[in-house]
Amino acid sequence: MCLLPIRVGALAALRVGDLEPRTLTVTIGQEKSTKPRQIAIPSSTMKFLEKQAKGRSPSQPIFCRNDGSSWNRNSWKKPIRAAAIAANLPTATTAYTLRHSVITDLVMDGQSLFLVAKLAGTGVQMIEDHYGHLVRPKAEDALEKLHF
């Protein structure tokens, strides 16, 4: 969840067959109102996902519970809470908090809001509405560099 800014449900729905190691892409299935989409991922993320998928058929989930079933809203709450406590994160931390953290990191890193929106599977307007305040200091710096 800290590697991709995708929705938690989309992450849980990833199947081994969604990975394309040759092109370093992953297909994110349909979520909300978006069609399935492919996003490029770094080789380190692909290696991590391949390790999780090892020994599974293309139709099986990449991330699963001990019994092999997919994660869902009810099954990930307690492990996420335990991980948050172990990491000394606020008690209100949820799986969705991690998505927002990745989006925030991408925006703060100076990535275009268009790119962030595409990776996150949402619209540029939503990114601007919720994360646009993070680019204000960069905008002020850019304007400061202008000369008459």
| pLDDT of amino acid 138 | 79
Q: In whole angstroms, what is the distance from residue 83 CA to residue 71 CA?
A: 16
Which residue ranges make up each domain of the chain?
8-144
What's this model's pTM, rounded to 2 decimal places? Answer: 0.84
Class of domain 8-144: mainly alpha
Please give the share of the chain, as a percent, with pLDDT higher than 70: 97
Q: In whole angstroms, what is the distance from residue 28 CA to residue 79 CA?
A: 23
| pLDDT of amino acid 66 | 82
pLDDT tens, position by position, 102-136: 999 999 999 999 999 999 999 999 999 999 899 88
| pLDDT of amino acid 141 | 82
| pLDDT of amino acid 140 | 82
Check whether 33 has a pLDDT greater than 70: no
Check whether 32 has a pLDDT greater than 80: no
Nearest to 107 by CA among 117, 98, 94: 117
Nearest to 126 by CA among 7, 13, 30: 7
Q: Is 61 helix (H, G, I), strand (E, B) or coil?
A: strand
pLDDT tens, position by position, 50-95: 999 999 999 999 988 888 788 887 788 888 889 899 999 998 998 8
Kindly indicate the confidence band of residue 9, based on its pLDDT and cuts at 50, 70 and 90: confident
Q: Residue 98: phi, psi to the nearest 5? A: -65, -40
Q: Residue 30: phi, psi to the nearest 5? A: -60, 130
